[in-house]
Amino acid sequence: MLQEHEGWKQVQAAWAQYKEAVAAGGNPQALYQEMVWPHLLALWRVAPPVVPERMPFRASLHTLGTSPEATALAILGTGAREVYVLHTEESRRFLERLRQDTGVDIYPIEIGKSDVAAIYREVRRLLERYPEDPVALDVTSGTKAMSAGLAAAGFFFRRFFPKVKVVYVDNEDYDVALRRPRAGSERLIVLPDPHEVGGEVDWLFASELYGKEDFVGAAAYFQRLVGNTGNQAYTLYGMLAELYRAWRALDFKEAARKAESLLEALSRNVWLQHPLNRHFQRLRRQAELLQAARDLLATADLGNRQGVLAVAATLLYLSERYGKRGQTTLAALHAYRALELLLQERLRRFGRLAEAPRLSPEEAEALAAELGRILPGDEPPRVRERLGLLEVLAFLRVLGDPLLASLEVRALQGLAGVLKARNQALLVHGLQVPTEKQVEQVAALARRLLQDLQGEVGVQPDLEAIPLPR
Amino acid sequence: MLQEHEGWKQVQAAWAQYKEAVAAGGNPQALYQEMVWPHLLALWRVAPPVVPERMPFRASLHTLGTSPEATALAILGTGAREVYVLHTEESRRFLERLRQDTGVDIYPIEIGKSDVAAIYREVRRLLERYPEDPVALDVTSGTKAMSAGLAAAGFFFRRFFPKVKVVYVDNEDYDVALRRPRAGSERLIVLPDPHEVGGEVDWLFASELYGKEDFVGAAAYFQRLVGNTGNQAYTLYGMLAELYRAWRALDFKEAARKAESLLEALSRNVWLQHPLNRHFQRLRRQAELLQAARDLLATADLGNRQGVLAVAATLLYLSERYGKRGQTTLAALHAYRALELLLQERLRRFGRLAEAPRLSPEEAEALAAELGRILPGDEPPRVRERLGLLEVLAFLRVLGDPLLASLEVRALQGLAGVLKARNQALLVHGLQVPTEKQVEQVAALARRLLQDLQGEVGVQPDLEAIPLPR
């Protein structure tokens, strides 16, 4: 306890004597320097009171105005070995006093009294010198511009240098008659991070990650929020983030399960007022889409058209996203698979399967002829026992699929090489890397088939993440 | 110009008369209120001086200490319609005065004078009420705790509410004799963001993104840095980020090109002192790896063992990363392809190709027998014209590949189902989603083959991004 410290008792005694001396008509300023200040310094040299606790600061940066006493206490309170002081032309004269009071070899940096840019620059320079160490930025003294600028810099740079702290000297008791803090009531305060104080600030980080589609990161923050606030409402946001995490990872089973749990929770009395309930209908439609996809994967029944729609729409959505991030190989892979799945579904309408098409001799001949038209000049393609992407497409034309039969041969000729190349792609069996243009050719046809399927099923798939409330 | 404003001239005249009155022995405080303050208020009501310029604030939040005049000016300077004032028990008595001076219907919020947590809470509440609007946080008045807390909150929450600004009233001229700012020299300052002041702060954002392996985002920041600072040294960091962007996207051609450009730049006299030159040897080895991979893709020559090593190591590295992000389907795809490529390379050592293995009748028989051992109970597998993953593995055992022949049949039996399932994976031709355990089985064998190849080639591939200097 500070109050039991011998030095503190001496400060109290000195303060009482000082008050008497002032009352007797002495000069308050001179008497304070003589009677109180040496005791206060002696106390802060050995046992500075720091809230919440003393910390091992490696370096400290202080603004210096016209009240050097508070800065002296801040220097002793942080206890840093490397001490930098931002002073103005006017406050330069206090530097020597500060060195004597603290016994520390202070490094001075002169700045203009309203030069916020200079403060930012010096803070950054200091933090880059001690990137891994605790650094204190003391805003106690100096002009408004200086201390506001220093506090701003502190919290801005915390993002990159997490060990920086903003500190200031406060007092618990102000003597109104003497117009100064009661000696011994001063404290060095380490300003808490908004993050540490309000657990709910995690909500902002969670929203930020969710907005960037980092659903893994968002879910982790929602989980923490439940723990830190005890508010189970965040569990529902966690389910939502995990739903999209699983969906984007093509884990339709898990995504459907999360969607079902979320809808179930939102239907309970306790959560009827939950903000996500405003999106209940949208969530229900997304859940239906995910269930259809899950069922397709479980049964492999291509007659499940809504399932095909859901999976193909997801693959195309991801293809586009990978393309935008410069991930052409992944974009190609997803577009190929979307197209193939949509073609497989159309073949199924004729009762045929790509992996066992059971071609009659006439059909085999017609398919070979069709492939010859699409790939003129190539040696006549051999029709193999299972149909690849290009063969399915050609066979659907033979079978009279209205959409595919309506495509012009010239358009297909451009696509044929791309489709033939699929098995040679780096992520399949070969070493080829597709170009963006090739991906777009595949995706364009897939989108056309998807649109046709949407019309038939009567569902416009909605894959966007539900927005979080602010 | 403010100096040409009629109101400003009146303030100047009032200030001159006031100085005379004080010199004649009047009460400075009372005279100021009577002679100067009404003119100053009148000026700020119509033309408040704001640096850098007036902004359309929707709401403002002010700390209130024992100097209500500065807060009144801040309220008029921000011009917000919704005005909130954080006051203490002590400063509550100034509220009415503030209302009269500004003519604004102020909303008061009482907090303890050192209660930083309350400030954070109120700031957050206010920002969530006006998430899309400009909000001013005024730190002019109040205790150190109050203004430091408000500045801290302002810069912390800017990340999520980009339109919030920290402001304060400063003065350009202080009358030392009168101990107050010269009337008319006050300004409302909108504190600039560290981001706006020092272009080089972008470096921190770039480093942050680079550290998170967001190389697309990092490259964009490096590009901006070149523009904002005119310093071409950042171009080299941009090349580095683009190198890894391309590498992670399996675009070895582009990655090798960037690596070559970077090495070339680092060898030039002008960049001999560039911080990246400390990593020149590592970069050179990475460039060699990328060149080998690029050549493999260009020539499809599996005899290029270093190329196989580079591509397979990359695929395994990405597989692991996708797995950690819960992207099991992508993790599986990459692990399958890594294993296949490594097996293809081993088959090539026997002069064979998986897509045209040219099996002799004896070999075909031996392969069928080996597959029967690995897959007991299944109907005897048909050996097809091109060898799949499992067939290559079995055939390598038949051929006497030392590593694969040394594997126990029991261990392979566990793996066989996984390998057979590859073509049925959702991203290949089917609708199956692999489990994490299956991915790990495939990756484990691939890692073992990779290690063997590393030993033969004598290269330990280094795929980690070169760290940026701080």
Each residue's pLDDT tens digit, A20-61: 999 999 899 899 999 999 999 999 999 999 999 999 999 999
A267 and A387 share one domain: no
Is the previous residue joined to A52 through a cis bond, with omega within 30 degrees of 0? yes
**pLDDT: is A39 or B426 the higher one?**
A39
pLDDT score, position B148: 86
B53 and B120 share one domain: yes
Each residue of B54-88: pLDDT tens digit?
Answer: 999 999 999 998 889 999 999 999 999 999 999 99
pLDDT score, position B382: 66
The residue-averaged pLDDT of A375-380 equals 70
B109 near A CB under 8 A: no
Each residue of B220-235: pLDDT tens digit?
Answer: 999 999 988 889 999 9
**What average pLDDT does the structure give for chain A?**
92
How far is Cα B186 from Cα B70, in angstroms, rounded to an integer? 9
The residue-averaged pLDDT of A106-129 equals 92
How far is Cα B470 from Cα B461, in angstroms, rounded to an integer? 26
B313 and B245 share one domain: no
pLDDT exceeds cutoff 80 at A422: yes
pLDDT exceeds cutoff 90 at B256: yes
Task: Provide the 3-class DSSP secondary structure of residue A168.
Answer: strand
Task: Provide the 3-class DSSP secondary structure of residue A51.
Answer: strand
pLDDT exceeds cutoff 90 at B158: no
Interchain CB distance below 8 Å, A152 and B147: no
Residue of A nearest to B297 (CA): A431
Interchain CB distance below 8 Å, B433 and A250: yes
> β-strands B180-181, B174-175: how paired?
antiparallel
B246 lies in a domain? yes
Size of interface A-B (CB pairs under 8 A): 203
Residue of B nearest to A208 (CA): B160
Instruction: Measure CA A331 to chain center.
Output: 24
CATH code assigned at A77? 3.40.50.10770
Q: Which of B191, B253, B431 sits opposite A152 (nearest CB)?
A: B191
pLDDT score, position A174: 81
A250 interaction partners in chain B (CB closer than 8 Å): 329, 426-427, 433
A191 near B CB under 8 A: yes
- pLDDT bin (cut points 50, 70, 90) of residue A303 is very high
A342 interaction partners in chain B (CB closer than 8 Å): none
How far is Cα B307 from Cα B298, in angstroms, rounded to an integer? 10
A79 and A65 share one domain: yes
The percent of residues above 90 in pLDDT, for chain B, comes to 71
* CB burial string B107-119: b at 16+ within 10 A, e below: eebebebbbbbbb
A216 and A264 share one domain: yes
**Using CB atoms and an 8 Å cut-off, which of residues 325-364 of chain B contact chain A?**
325-330, 333-334, 337, 340, 354-355
pLDDT score, position A75: 97
A32 lies in a domain? no
CB A84 within 8 A of CB A111: no
A356 and A221 share one domain: no
A38 lies in a domain? no
Query: Among A242-256, A424-438, B368-382, whose mean pLDDT is lowest?
Result: B368-382
Q: Which of A247, A282, A299 lies at the terminal end of a domain, its last residue?
A: A299
Q: Which of B192, B195, B431 sits opposite A296 (nearest CB)?
A: B431
pLDDT score, position A379: 66
Interchain CB distance below 8 Å, B197 and A426: no
pLDDT score, position B6: 87
**Using CB atoms and an 8 Å cut-off, which of residues 11-70 of chain B contact chain A?**
none
B149 near A CB under 8 A: yes
Share in percent of chain A as helix, strand, coil (round to 5):
60, 10, 30
A420 near B CB under 8 A: no
C-alpha distance from B261 to closest chain A C-alpha (Å): 20
Give the total number of structural domains in chain A.
3
Q: Which of A299, A321, A341 lies at the terminal end of a domain, its last residue?
A: A299
pLDDT exceeds cutoff 80 at A331: yes
B323 and B423 share one domain: yes
C-alpha distance from A369 to closest chain B C-alpha (Å): 24
Segments forming the whole domain that contains residue B306: 301-470
Report the number of secondary-structure helices (H) and strands (E) in chain B: 20, 9
B258 lies in a domain? yes
Give CA separation, A459 vs A300, B218, B256, in Å: 20, 39, 45
- pLDDT bin (cut points 50, 70, 90) of residue A383 is low
The residue-averaged pLDDT of A159-182 equals 87
B394 and B470 share one domain: yes
**pLDDT: is B425 or A237 the higher one?**
A237
Interchain CB distance below 8 Å, A156 and B155: yes
pLDDT exceeds cutoff 80 at B376: no
Q: Which of A138, A139, A144 is the best substitution to test chain B (most B C-beta atoms within 10 A)? A: A144
pLDDT exceeds cutoff 90 at A343: yes
Q: Which of A116, A201, A431 sits opposite B191 (nearest CB)?
A: A116
3 state SS for B5-60: CHHHHHHHHHHHHHHHHHHCCCCHHHHHHHHHHHHHHHHHHHCCCEECCCCCCCEE
pLDDT score, position B234: 95
A309 and A295 share one domain: no
Q: Which of A155, A243, A253, A470 is the best substitution to test chain B (most B C-beta atoms within 10 A)? A: A155
Q: Which of A151, A311, A327 sits opposite B249 (nearest CB)?
A: A327
Q: Which of A140, A249, A470 sits opposite B329 (nearest CB)?
A: A249
pLDDT exceeds cutoff 70 at A382: no
pLDDT score, position A291: 98
pLDDT exceeds cutoff 70 at A378: no
Q: Which of B116, B159, B170 sits opposite A197 (nearest CB)?
A: B116
Each residue of B343-363: pLDDT tens digit?
Answer: 999 999 999 998 888 899 999
**pLDDT: is A233 or B198 the higher one?**
A233
**pLDDT: is A228 or A448 the higher one?**
A448
B270 near A CB under 8 A: no
Tokens (6 digits) for A338:
């979307």
A231 lies in a domain? yes
CB B98 within 8 A of CB B64: yes
A470 interaction partners in chain B (CB closer than 8 Å): 128, 131
C-alpha distance from B85 to closest chain A C-alpha (Å): 18
pLDDT score, position B146: 87
Say how many residues make up chain A.
470
pLDDT exceeds cutoff 90 at A265: yes
The residue-averaged pLDDT of B155-161 equals 87
Is the previous residue joined to B52 through a cis bond, with omega within 30 degrees of 0? yes
B140 near A CB under 8 A: yes
A120 lies in a domain? yes
pLDDT score, position B54: 94
Cα-based torsion angle of the residue sequence B309, B315, B319, B320 in order, rounded to the nearest 10 degrees:
40
A408-416 LR contacts (CB < 8 Å, sep 24+): A409/A373, A409/A374, A412/A374, A413/A374, A413/A375, A413/A376, A414/A441, A415/A441, A415/A442, A415/A445, A416/A374, A416/A375, A416/A390
B118 near A CB under 8 A: no
Query: Among A416-430, B279-293, B445-459, whose mean pLDDT is lowest?
Result: A416-430
A7 lies in a domain? no
Each residue of A198-216: pLDDT tens digit?
Answer: 666 888 899 999 999 999 9
pLDDT score, position B1: 64
Each residue of A282-291: pLDDT tens digit?
Answer: 999 999 999 9
Which residues are bridge partners to A425 per DSSP? Answer: A432
B407 and B362 share one domain: yes
A296 near B CB under 8 A: yes
Give CA separation, A116 vs B149, B191, B193, B402, in Å: 18, 8, 10, 70
pLDDT exceeds cutoff 80 at A195: no
Tokens (6 digits) for A453:
């399927």
- Within A46-97, strands assigned E span 50-51, 59-64, 82-87
pLDDT exceeds cutoff 70 at B380: no
Interchain CB distance below 8 Å, A170 and B145: yes
B240 and B256 share one domain: yes
pLDDT score, position A166: 93
Contacts for A16 with CB less than 8 Å, ≥ 6 apart: none
First CA to last CA distance, chain A: 45
A219 interaction partners in chain B (CB closer than 8 Å): none
Interchain CB distance below 8 Å, B148 and A426: no
Alpha helices, DSSP H, located in B268-359: 280-299, 305-324, 328-349
The residue-averaged pLDDT of B421-429 equals 85
pLDDT score, position A199: 64
C-alpha distance from A238 to closest chain B C-alpha (Å): 15
Interchain CB distance below 8 Å, A431 and B147: no
Q: Which of B232, B265, B299 lies at the terminal end of a domain, its last residue?
A: B299
Cα diameter, chain A: 123
**pLDDT: is B243 or B143 the higher one?**
B243
**What average pLDDT does the structure give for chain B?**
92
Q: Which of A159, A355, A431 sits opposite B296 (nearest CB)?
A: A431
Task: Give the closest residue to B206 by CA, choosing from B228, B189, B185.
Answer: B228
How far is Cα A341 from Cα A336, in angstroms, rounded to an integer? 9
CB A121 within 8 A of CB B196: no
Q: Which of A170, A198, A327 sits opposite B121 (nearest CB)?
A: A198
- pLDDT bin (cut points 50, 70, 90) of residue B416 is confident
pLDDT score, position A172: 81
Interchain CB distance below 8 Å, B330 and A249: yes
B226 lies in a domain? yes
The residue-averaged pLDDT of B425-430 equals 85
Residue of B nearest to A323 (CA): B249
The percent of residues above 70 in pLDDT, for chain A, comes to 98
How far is Cα A71 from Cα A90, in angstroms, rounded to an integer? 15
The residue-averaged pLDDT of B373-399 equals 82
A92 and A177 share one domain: yes
pLDDT exceeds cutoff 80 at B385: no
The residue-averaged pLDDT of B200-207 equals 87
Interchain CB distance below 8 Å, A250 and B426: yes
pLDDT score, position B74: 97
**Using CB atoms and an 8 Å cut-off, which of residues 193-222 of chain B contact chain A?**
193-195, 197-198, 200-201, 204, 207-208, 216
CB A389 within 8 A of CB A441: no
